[in-house]
Structure 1
């Protein structure tokens, strides 16, 4: 035991030598509770609940879930594949909810049920440090419970819980075998550092030097993934991972501010505050997310957006959250393990002040540049278009560069499959995390360009380590558009590949590709994935039907083209099923050393008679 303790001290001192001392001489923190919500800060939340029926409903939903948890057995250490993460997340959900209920009501049953969960988790053999996200979330869970319930816990319980935070949470993070996330620029860095800081804050008075080292280390390290918000806040890992990485980044900042009275410069990191607008624009009129990369389709309440809205003093950022607050299914809401943070960050904002946003288009450059356009924020039948550039080499990315999604009349006509469950692939031996050009990752049906709404050239995959920038944009109301340079993704096959996507006259969508070939004939496939029934009306026109609505897909250029469909039947036994979907598009043979344009219109039924007859070259499209 003594040898292990000395080894930990050596790791701490070695780590501290390379750190910036952000904390300085501050030797103490507020008494417990000190994480996120200080003693007495329940009162403003209670006033918000009393003054707004929607907030009252949210508070009641949380308490009802806590009541349901009272008779549930504590979670057990059941690992699935390489992950304990499901248990860590459920542990965080239960403890955060029950601790909130205790803070807000002082009812003994919530305290004792939380204590039971804390002791069960603390008794686990470990929190699975080989997959450190599991440790990060579990440490955050136990730290919140330990801190918020501190004076209600027995001395014996406190000792056991504190020891688990130290031995199963913080100490493994000092081991180079487990802490490669410190040098990562993805969500792992954000989540794991947040968890370790929560653990450090919980036991600060017991281990002040260790705790300071953990906090200093986190402030130094988390700026790596925060650099990915530069310049405009477009989160490169997409919608779902924004909900993960950014939420935990906000949890980290919020805890630091509450404990130390400052954020150590993290809020001022370029692009970070702008990311709230990115997330807001990533939800379409249907309520579904723009689900590129490893993302789920279903949108949901994002607690972190309330933190951003308060920080920026902009309640309009909560327009989408307003809908989720007012109309969200309680059973769905309570699956969010960070839901109580919504109450902490509500800031007294009334539902009535969450006004409709004014901007109908948002774009962001960065590793995965995106643009989203819409005709309205309040009309459920509005047209919504999302388009992206970027690179397959980005964290959690697919070969979807140049792809787009499109909604109209409440239907997502042009769709993206998004992610496939990782365990379903890993359990069958798929080398999922190898991003090499010829790796097995790109054989997964949902991951390569053949099934995305982009181009396929000579039946080959996009170049993994190349990237496509957005080269021009316009928010012109009657011709919102974004143009991307895709040529590097098709090196050897195309010498020019420029794609423009426009929302025209607030009535229909144009997708135009301008291509040039090298000294060889080239085959180009244009693809759109859809959940609609597809009826081919002729060589260049198809009628898409879904939910009683219709959309016309019309190819204006080239003149000689034959539309066709392709199955979405999985190609391997490890691929997920894709029922109710089909690919529609066409192939063209482009002669060597020549130019061509592919122009496709997506026309909702009500705009069929008014869609323009001519689409100009991309160089003539409006630009900012």
Structure 2
């Protein structure tokens, strides 16, 4: 039934797109027509002259472009089934160099950009069997071709144009390669965007083909945009938000500049609100809530400036302000960095204020809750709390898991993603998502590596979905409660976890568990990068540098904390240096009820918190 509804939706949006909101291709302007039109450089230059933050970013892009001048041209380097690293580096080089040429008219940038464009254009192909590679390479060549068009010799234009048509757009029309048009994940956003940029860049060469690509993209990209409804939660988490959403914003920007309309895309439910989702994934330790297949801190996120302008809300840029002030640009890897200059509109960074949010949550297929006492790095508490399901794209068996920041330190951590090629090269079918899939043998993907409960050493139920059933923004007790029962189907009769920040000073994690007809061994585990300073029965002290927290097992004097290695069991698993687990096990009889209360207090404390209210009273 879900597949039928999705199919009908897809047919419906195609018919709408080909009807009343059909793009008017007569509006397409001369080159440059993508992102930054002729003469718009002058406004960017004003921002560079007026604000230190934008001058610093501009100079970083120029310095990195100068460094690129001495690099050998890219070659087609395939790693496993991907040339994605090459495509992304091509985008970084060509975008940086093209920006630097347009802002300075220094011919060395133009000449190097032309060299890189010709190099990738002469590849045998752009690897359509892994179409993200094609999409990013098409975006790279489209920007370079469009931005440098009037300065490139006709012979170079012809070579680049043919490559876009033959190695980018043509395979995108082949049913063997374009299944992403029906996908509801980042592949749809990235591939539609890359091909649409290519189509618009070379529009004059084959108008019918380019019309078809862009019209289909307007219809298709609505499918993954459904994931933002109703209030901005993005199913795939931090890193894939940065990927899919950035490309989605690129697509909308392209439509607005080319046709004067985004055909209702930015008003899709939840899309603009997703800026708050991304901002709230940054903890007060400076680390992110990296559940699922997430990597580390992305650095400055250009898409957030686009959202801030659309929303007329500067507070969503509070994290970006910090990156700007500390010049954390990740210019060696952030291939979209020049977009920050284009989308920031010269905003005065000093006028960006912190949000007032203390609890962030939005219903979705893969729910989370974020609790905090504020946005101050040195003093405020932050908890990222995961519900949801492992059955979504890039999902882990992490329902019930959490990260915890206190006193500016990350005490409870997530390992995040493992590079896919390392697992694929070991022969694992990690994209098979059923319960018996070898995907769940991978340590970082299953529940054994997460800060959650494990019953009888078994995997979580992949199709289970933990939903938020209760929450409070009361500053004296900010809390959220997830029902985990479906995640433990056939293992427990009932499982509920709540996390509360109390009196702006300490944190409680409470589990309410009821067994079914069988006995159960319940493992409570937390991964930490801290050192175990001492264990005294049900009292645990963790230390990071000169800072400490005390963790109590409330009202459970017969249980003792334990610590154990975070080293994984399989050769193909990534190592986890610097991490250990702390936790405990309890034995439960059939039809028994247990309430577990774990409190977290800053410093080396001797007293318990004393807060043991049932979740029904929260």
TM-score interval, smaller chain: over 0.9
The residue number in structure 1 matching 2:185 is 186
Which piece of structure 1 moves more, 295-304 or 30-39? Answer: 295-304
Which is worse superposed, 591-600 or 91-100?
A: 591-600
Residue 108 of structure 2 corresponds to which residue in structure 1?
109
Deviation at 1:351, TM superposition (A): 0.9
How many aligned residue pairs are there? 605
> What secondary structure, in the 3-state scheme, does the structure 2 residue paired with 1:27 have?
helix
Q: Supply the distance in 1 between the matched residues of 2:16 and 2:360 (Cα, whole angstroms).
A: 40
Q: Distance in 2 between matches of 1:282 and 1:316?
A: 14
Paired residue secondary structure (1:333): coil
Does residue 611 of structure 2 align to residue 614 of structure 1?
Answer: yes
Superposition pairs of residues 195-206 of structure 1, within 5 angstroms: 195-206=194-205
1:493 deviates by 1.4
Aligned to 2:571: 573
Once the two structures are superposed, residues 35-84 of structure 1 have per-residue CA deviations (whole angstroms, 9 ceiling, x without a partner) of: 01111111111111111011101001101111111121111001000000
1:443 to 435, 441, 444: 441
**Aligned pair in 2 of structure 1 residues 614, 25: CA closer, same or farther (>3 Å)?**
closer
Query: Judging changes above 3 Å, is the alpha-carbon distance between structure 1 residues 529 and 63 closer, same or farther for their aligned structure 2 residues?
Result: same
Deviation of 1:611 (Å): 6.0
The separation in 2 between residues aligned to 1:314 and 1:16, in whole angstroms, is: 33
Work out whether residues 508 and 611 of structure 1, in 8 Å CA contact, stay in contact via their aligned partners in 2.
no
Answer yes or no: is the 8 Å Cα contact 1:487–1:496 preserved in 2.
yes
Whether contact under 8 Å (1:558, 1:596) holds in the other structure is no
Aligned partner of 2:494 in structure 1 is 496
> What runs of 5+ residues in structure 1 fail to find an aligned partner?
1-14
Query: CA 1:304–1:611 in 2, change beyond 3 Å: closer, same or farther?
Result: farther
> Is contact 1:27–1:208 with CA below 8 Å preserved after alignment?
no
Partner residue in 1 for 2:397: 399
C-alpha deviation, 1:16, in angstroms: 8.6
Q: 8 Å contact 2:308–2:316 — kept in the other structure?
A: yes
> Counterpart of 1:244?
243
CA distance, structure 2, for counterparts of residue 267 and residue 18 of structure 1: 17
When normalised by structure 2's length, the TM-score is: 0.95
| 1:185-205 residue CA offsets vs partner (Å, 9 max, x unmatched) | 110000000001100110112
Q: Give the equivalent residue in structure 1 for 2:84.
A: 85
3-state DSSP of counterpart to 2:554: strand
Corresponding residue number in structure 2 for 1:9: none
Unaligned runs of 5+ in 2: 1-12
Q: Describe the superposition over 1:102-133 as per-residue Cα deviations: whole angstroms up to 9, x where unpaired.
A: 11112211111111111111000000000000
1:25 CA displacement: 4.6
Q: Which residue of 2 aligns with 1:382?
A: 380
Q: Name the counterpart of 1:344.
A: 342
Partner of 2:511: 513
**Residue 134 (1) aligns with residue 146 (2):** no
- Listed one character per residue, the Cα deviations across residues 332-377 of structure 1 (whole Å, up to 9, x for unaligned) are 3342000000000011211111112122221122011111122221
* CA apart distance, 1:19: 6.3
Aligned partners of 2:27, 2:37: CA distance in 1, in Å?
15
Q: What's 2:267 paired with? A: 268
Correspondence for 1:253: 252
Equivalent position to 1:547, from 534, 537, 545: 545
Alignment of 1:177-326 (within 5 A): 177-326=176-325
After TM superposition, give the deviation of residue 380 of structure 1 in Å. Answer: 2.2
Question: Who is 1:5 aligned against?
Answer: none
**Are the aligned partners of 2:284 and 2:378 in contact in 1 as well (CA < 8 Å)?**
yes
- Normalised by the length of structure 1, the TM-score is 0.95
Quote the offset at 1:589 in angstroms. 1.1
Match of 1:370 among 359, 365, 368: 368
Is the 8 Å Cα contact of residues 541 and 554 (structure 1) preserved in structure 2? yes
Deviations 1:221-255 (A, max 9, x none): 11111101111211111101111001111111111
1:484 aligns with 2:464: no
Cα deviation, 1:258-295, whole Å, max 9, x if unaligned, reads 11111011101100001000000101122211100011
Counterpart Cα distance in 1 of 2:488 and 2:281: 27
Asked if structure 2 preserves the Cα contact closer than 8 Å seen for 1:301 and 1:333, the reply is no
**Contact in 2 for aligned 1:96/1:337 (Cα 8 Å):** yes
Which secondary structure does the structure 2 equivalent of 1:338 belong to?
Answer: coil
Instruction: State the Cα distance separating 1:566 from its structure 2 match.
Output: 2.2
CA RMSD of aligned residues (A): 1.6
Q: Where does residue 591 of structure 1 map in the other structure?
A: 589
How far apart in 2 are the matches of 1:380 and 1:233? Answer: 28
- Aligned mates of 1:395, 1:452 — CA distance in 2: 18
Whole-Å separation in 2 of the counterparts to 1:414 and 1:481: 17
Secondary structure of 1:251's match? helix
Query: Post-superposition shift, 1:256?
Result: 1.0
Structure 1 residue 536: Cα displacement = 4.4
Counterparts of 2:317 and 2:120 in 1: how far apart (Å)? 35
More displaced stretch, 397-406 vs 531-540: 531-540
For 1:308 and 1:422, the matched residues in 2 are separated by 31
Counterpart-to-counterpart distance in 2, 1:56 and 1:24: 37
Cα deviation, residue 591, structure 1: 1.4
User: Displacement of 1:27 after TM fit?
Assistant: 2.6
CA gap 1:326/1:24 in 2 versus in 1, 3 angstroms: closer
Conserved 8 A contact 2:280-2:360? yes
Contact in 1 for aligned 2:541/2:548 (Cα 8 Å)? yes
SS at match of 1:498: strand
Paired with 1:559 and 1:526, the residues of 2 have a C-alpha distance of 16
2: distance between equivalents of 1:384 and 1:443? 31
Match of 1:6 in 2: none
Contact 1:189 1:225 (C-alpha < 8 Å) held by counterparts: yes
Q: Distance in 2 between matches of 1:485 and 1:218?
A: 38
Deviations 1:516-572 (A, max 9, x none): 111222111111001111144322111111122111111114443222122112201
Q: Secondary structure at the match of 2:333?
A: coil
Mapped partners of 1:24, 1:320: distance in 2: 36
The corresponding residue for 1:10 is: none
